[in-house]
A and B are shown apart, each in its own frame.
Chain A
């Protein structure tokens, strides 16, 4: 399930004085089963790109194909919007989570099975299904919204700032679920938290003012970022490892796990 993006351009308010070119002739290939990180500043075009890949908007120019098919929301692609907990509307969480699935024409047994399995996957207690979504905390609701998108069994899943305004525990849980499901689903992970994106993604792209300024592997990104900004915006661990590497220590600057970093530094110190 690879995603091909070719010459993708999107202009808001086209033809008016206030027209904004959100994306400018973007080319990207996202491989099947990968977690693809998308980073960039505010207004760089990340959310626009997410909406276009999800098939929720028509691009001004260019094309997007998911396994040579156009994107079809709710079928071959799912998207978890920013603050998805705002979109609940039913009296109980169960009714809310099942509404989309029932609309898709699935049998009740199949719907129940999907809801229960995705709730388990998200680490949520099944008892919350009887509660009103308006009485649940934000972290639980975010995971429930995530579960309801997963229950649609999309082959491509777009997560737009999935951990924004979540407490550390809920954030950790969200990242764990993403890591768990990656491999089966192609995930596009959009976040401002560089550490988080680097942790979960195998490939990354950097957007700047509607243009792709970098695309490549995680280690390639760390090299690129170190070269571009002197590592200033890299996660602290990467900055430390790069600094040690430059000072002649025998360490891998691309390491992202704290335990591995400690072990490498220890071995390097023993050698010296």
Chain B
């Protein structure tokens, strides 16, 4: 879901991280307020964005895999508990309404995850930190701490997946196939060990560089460019098209 940042010079890469974060909130609202036909337009828009920032579709879809069980649970819950016209004679469930509602909700989640993947792929961790701090400024020191924690966590999550790959390979090389509950232990114990060590090293290095939440983090203040206003314009057009024409 949260992709590792990939360096690039695409339009999305060059957008100010604050614009991207604000658009992220805007697109999320749009995903939840759009009608099913509007979701189709949004899917096309997300795939187009993925194309422009050269994130292959296969890799984009890979980000959905960890959420597969969640999608299945949501879908089945709606299929089994939504009353309506039965699909099969003599059986109260599944109902046609349940299948439609379940599918639409799953599609909304898929769109949200795909858009988040594109945003994290095109935004550097420091850019994300900067944007979060900007928007959480009204909360003072607490906001700065919260932004820093969120940004750091988002930076470390893709690292966890990378670590998981390394550990899996190492266990396979020792003749161990990490499967089942035992396999879970073989994966999780080393993962926690390495993650805690990494986080410990990170906090030590921050302290050694005089990091302090009451201090300013960035010396250079970013200014919005024309492309940022253009981005907001595209979003407004998208809102109008989806809410009024679909």
Within the complex, the shortest CB–CB distance from A60 to chain B, in Å, comes to 14
Asked if B175 and A100 sit within 8 Å, CB to CB, the answer is yes
CB-CB under 8 A from B53, the residues of chain A are 17
> Interface stretch among A38-46, A85-93, A254-262?
A85-93
Known: A86-B190, A87-B190, A89-B185. A16 touches B170 (CB 8 A): no
Cβ–Cβ contact A73 & B172, under 8 A: yes
- Size class of the contact patch on chain A: 20 to 34
B172 & A15 in contact (Cβ 8 Å cutoff): no
Of A74-82, A174-182, A213-221, A241-249, the stretch lying at the interface with chain B is A74-82
B176 with A99: CB separation less than 8 A: yes
Would you call B63 an interface residue if the criterion is a C-beta within 8 Å of the partner chain's C-beta atoms? Answer: no
CB < 8 Å: which of B8, B55, B194 contacts A86? B194
* B-chain residues with CB within 8 Å of residue A51 when the two chains form the complex: 169
Given A17-B6, A18-B6, A18-B7: A103 and B175 within 8 A (CB)? yes
> Does residue B26 face the partner (Cβ distance < 8 Å to A)?
no
Instruction: Say yes or no for A104: interface residue by CB 8 A criterion.
Output: yes
Would you call B59 an interface residue if the criterion is a C-beta within 8 Å of the partner chain's C-beta atoms?
Answer: yes
Say how far B188's CB is from chain A's closest CB, in angstroms.
Answer: 8
**Residue of A at shortest CB range from B193?**
A86
Name the B residues within 8 Å of A101 (CB-CB): 175
State which residues 1-51 of B face A: CB under 8 Å. Answer: 6-10, 13
| A129-156 Cβ-contact flags toward B at 8 Å (1 or 0) | 0000000000000000000110010000
Contact with A16, one of B56, B166, B190 (Cβ below 8 angstroms): B56
- Known contacts A89-B190, A103-B177, A16 near B172 by CB under 8 Å: no
The closest CB in chain B to the CB of A152 belongs to B175
| Residue B174 lies at the interface, judged by CB distance under 8 Å to chain A | yes
A17 touches B173 (CB 8 A): no
Contact with A along B70-85 (1 / 0, CB 8 A): 0000000000000000
The residue of chain A having its C-beta at the shortest distance from the C-beta of B5 within the complex is: A18
Which residue in A15, A86, A152 is a CB contact (below 8 Å) of B174?
Answer: A152
Closest to A88 in B: B190
User: Are A74 and B172 closer than 8 Å at their CB atoms?
Assistant: yes
Q: For the complex, what is the distance from the CA of A100 to the CA of B170, rounded to whole Å?
A: 11
Closest Cβ neighbor of B189 among chain A residues = A89
Whether a CB of chain B sits under 8 angstroms from the CB of A13 is yes
Q: Is A164 an interface residue (CB 8 A)?
A: no
Known contacts A17-B53, A18-B7, A100-B175, A81 near B185 by CB under 8 Å: no
Residues of B within 8 A of A149 (CB): 173-174
Residue numbers in A under 8 Å from B13 (CB-CB) = 17
Residue-wise, chain B 156-195 has the 8 Å CB interface mask toward A (1 for contact) of 0000000000110111111111000000011011100110
Given that A86-B194, A89-B189, A99-B186 are contacting pairs, would A56 and B8 also be in contact in the complex, using a CB cutoff of 8 Å?
A: no
A-B contact pairs, 10 of them (CB 8 A): A13-B6, A17-B10, A74-B172, A74-B175, A81-B169, A87-B170, A88-B190, A89-B189, A149-B173, A149-B174
* 5 A-B pairs closest in CB distance: A17-B8, A100-B175, A89-B189, A18-B6, A74-B175
Given contacts A16-B8, A16-B55, A78-B174, 4 further A-B contacts (CB under 8 A): A87-B167, A89-B185, A89-B189, A101-B175
